[in-house]
Amino acid sequence: MEEFILFLVGVLVSGFGTIIGFGGGVFMVPVLIIFFGFNIEIAIGSTMSALVPASIIASIFNLRDRSIDYVVGTLIQLPAVVGTVLGAFLVAFLPVFKLQFIFALFVVATGATMLAPKKHKERSNRTGMMYRIRRVPTSFIRKNRAKHLAYRINGGLITAFGFVSGVIAGLFGIGGGFVQTPMMIKLFRIPSQIATSTSLFILVITSFTGFISHFLIGNVMWGRSLPLMAAFALGALGGNLLKKRRQSKNLNTERLIAIGLFMAGFGVLLNLALKSNFGFSF
């Protein structure tokens, strides 16, 4: 019975993570620890292994749908690898627990702000600091002819953002998807369909490298990982089918991302509680 419940939870988490472009790892780790008794190392290893087939399936759908921006994905992923290494190195020198706690509160607050009803006081997209930054010399237009979309990005700013998201991932030991997706949408004005697909494409690389790392250090137990891999694969399939049916109108992706941020922030807080044996002493 417990195995069936775990499988069902994995399907739901993966389906939701696929729709919002987060992958679902930040939600699944605390669930495995609190409700299914996994120790934290095995929970992370199992989740990393489950994200591999899920991200591949999602990216195959997105590849066929022509919604992945490979240029943006590369500009984020390459510096993110360097940032992850630096973040892991900085763990020995910075007050990581305090920073994690503050960051988690910031994520929860951001999600809550995005969920709050908006006043209809539209400001022009052609004003403000971010509009001017996106138009500096390293800016260029990206066109997706299949989706009839065009948007301006700043290559230098995207690269710097990728590096920062990598540092966050390495420093805090969390995936960067739930940072990258909303920032691509809100900060860089990338259409949500392109942003979520690109984030899942990035996850193919990060989840595979994370899986190999945890496998080599013995954190992948196949008896626990394989059922979760099957569940995440099925969830990714269902999430993509739902995305195709909604056509971006029947389901508010940005609102779901806000809910995901809210939940992810609490997921990080739960991870902190578990790592410190529920003692939040600074």
Do 78 and 151 contact (CB within 8 A), yes or no? Answer: no
In a domain, 22, yes or no: yes
Measure the CA–CA gap between 57 and 224, rounded to whole angstroms.
21
**What is the value of pTM for the model shown?**
0.82
> Which domain does 263 fall in, by range?
2-68+90-117+168-275
Tokens of 52: 């591999």
In a domain, 132, yes or no: no
Q: In this predicted structure, what is the pLDDT of residue 280?
A: 43
Q: In this predicted structure, what is the pLDDT of residue 246?
A: 65
CA 257 to chain centre: 10
In a domain, 229, yes or no: yes
Instruction: Give the chain as a 3 state SS string.
Output: CHHHHHHHHHHHHHHHHHHHCCCCHHHHHHHHHHHHCCCHHHHHHHHHHHHHHHHHHHHHHHHHHCCCCHHHHHHHHHHHHHHHHHHHHHCCCCCHHHHHHHHHHHHHHHHHHHHCCCCCCCCCCCCCHHHHHHCCCCEEEEEECCCCEEEEEEHHHHHHHHHHHHHHHHHHCCCCHHHHHHHHHHCCCCCHHHHHHHHHHHHHHHHHHHHHHHHHCCCCCHHHHHHHHHHHHHHHHHHHHHHHHHCCCCCCHHHHHHHHHHHHHHHHHHHHHHHCCCCCCC
Q: In this predicted structure, what is the pLDDT of residue 269?
A: 81
**Average pLDDT per block of 10 residues along the chain, 282 residues long:** 92 92 84 85 89 94 94 93 83 76 82 70 53 65 90 90 84 72 86 92 87 88 94 95 68 79 81 63 41
Q: In this predicted structure, what is the pLDDT of residue 230?
A: 96
In a domain, 280, yes or no: no
In a domain, 141, yes or no: no
In a domain, 250, yes or no: yes
Measure the CA–CA gap between 257 and 17, rounded to whole angstroms.
9
Domain count, the chain: 1
Q: In this predicted structure, what is the pLDDT of residue 178?
A: 77
Q: In this predicted structure, what is the pLDDT of residue 99?
A: 77
Do 282 and 98 contact (CB within 8 A), yes or no? Answer: yes
Q: In this predicted structure, what is the pLDDT of residue 210?
A: 82
In a domain, 28, yes or no: yes
